[in-house]
Amino acid sequence: MSVTTPPSLPTRRERPFDPPDEYRLLREEDPVSRLAFPDGKVGWLLTRHEDVRALLSDQRFSSNRLRASSPVRSFPVRPGEPVFRAGSFIGMDAPEHTRYRRILTHWFTTRRMRELTPRIERIVAEHLDAMERTGPPVDLVPAFALPIPSLVICELLGVPYEDRAAFQDWTATLLRIGGDEESVFAARDALWAYIRGLVERKRQEPDDALLGSLVHDPDSSFTTDELTGVGLLLLVAGHETTANMLALGTLTLLTRPDQLRALRERPELIDGAVEELLRYLSIVQFGIVRVAREDVVIGGRLINAGETVVASLAAANRDPEHYPDPDRLDITRPPAQHVAFGHGFHQCLGQQLARAEMKVAYPALFARFPELRLAVPPEEVPLRHDMVIYGVHRLPLTW
Ligand code: HEM
């Protein structure tokens, strides 16, 4: 691999569940490799588990995406307009970022998610009832995978679920790669105006969901814009990600009958199965970016101040130094920390929520339909190569 002509991010998958093959080669031969970005700049790509974790827990790297290059053509910005407006703490650094996490963390603790589980169980059961009433074939994405996390995050935030068609649409537009810029700007503006309107309403009529509570919490002191940004981030991050894990995870298990059989026979395997699916599928498929604030050496290479570094979560999660036989899905694998939720300061705030949803949804789906199977040949399932979050666009199932 020549330093003078660095490649761009590998994105072409040969097999639906595996990251592009180039990552394996890079990890073996050039684990901290030069990378060309669509904006013409050159930065770095990390593919080893150890280096990815080192990067994500190092304060010398900033999460401020305004200064970073994007590895794929996504999130276009109007000249002068920040991609991440007020409140979008995923793009902030300490101490500002710490302030947001401190206020929001207790909304997403394991205990809170345990309390939420009976509600998730009811939502899942209602959607399974509806699938049964409709009868096969059913597309699992609109019938199950998308509505469950959407409903849960709506209730948690205090966003009216009746508005889902609009916010699901805007989110899909935002997360599409290489989409038409004007549509992205329009979706972002619409989503912002929608959440801002909600926050303003909650100033008049508070409720005890997250947004309504924070509006009146003297400790939070978020401005209306900040709270709008928080709501937008949580709404977008809170439904697309888990929805894709539910649909893609189901497809994966249906095409691995030995694993599905093991899960059906031993329901106690569910916790490990969820972690293994997260590792194996790494749906944040193009990784996450950081910008060096100063010169830093990682994996023996000097990263210069101002350069963008991409941490490939998908490559790190298949690192044989960390997981024996990494390309095999094995739901009985002994626990080993994966990076599907990131690592360090920005590690996913909603991870316990995502886990709670998956732990309820997969077993309930497979228990309700013992004969569940694909209604089309596997190669006809449309894969989300074109989206920041990997998964399937549709999943026709029968039983
Ligand atoms: C399986 C589902 C999910 C996956 C794979 C996932 C993945 C990730 C990853 C990789 C990051 C790190 C980003 C970075 O370091 O730049 C992240 C951050 C985040 N996620 Fe998730 N996520 C999931 C579900 C959720 C849910 C359900 C929520 C709902 C609230 C959520 C909210 C967030 C937020 C707010 C952040 C930013 C945290 C921060 O910057 O401090 N995610 N997620």
CATH code for position 149: 1.10.630.10
Q: How many domains does the chain have?
A: 1
Radius of gyration of the chain (CA): 21
Amino acid at 157: L
Q: 89 alpha carbon to ligand 1 midpoint, in Å? A: 11
**pLDDT tens per residue across all 399 residues of the chain:** 444 678 899 998 999 999 999 999 999 999 999 999 988 999 999 999 999 999 999 999 999 877 788 888 776 777 666 655 789 999 999 999 999 999 999 999 999 999 999 999 999 999 999 999 999 999 999 999 999 999 999 999 999 999 988 988 888 888 888 778 888 888 888 999 999 999 999 999 889 999 999 998 877 889 999 999 999 999 999 989 999 999 999 999 999 999 999 999 999 999 999 999 999 999 999 999 999 999 999 999 999 999 999 999 999 999 999 999 999 999 999 888 999 999 999 999 999 999 999 999 999 999 999 999 999 999 999 999 999 999 999 999 999
Q: 76 alpha carbon to ligand 1 midpoint, in Å? A: 21
In a domain, 8, yes or no: no
In a domain, 10, yes or no: no
CA-based max dimension of the chain: 60
User: By residue range, what is the domain housing residue 143?
Assistant: 22-398
Amino acid at 126: E
Cα separation, 93 vs 59, whole angstroms: 8
**pTM for this one?**
0.95
In a domain, 187, yes or no: yes
Kindly give the number of the ligand 1 atom that is closest to the alpha carbon of 288: 16
In a domain, 7, yes or no: no
For 189, residues 6+ apart whose C-beta sits below 8 A from its C-beta are: none
CB burial string 344-357: b at 16+ within 10 A, e below: bbbebbbbbbbbbb
In a domain, 65, yes or no: yes
Structure tokens belonging to residue 88: 């979008």
Alpha carbon dihedral 86, 90, 94, 97, in 10-degree steps, equals: 60
Q: Please tell me what DSSP assigns to residue 284.
A: B
Residue 340 near ligand 1, beta carbon < 6 Å: yes
In a domain, 295, yes or no: yes
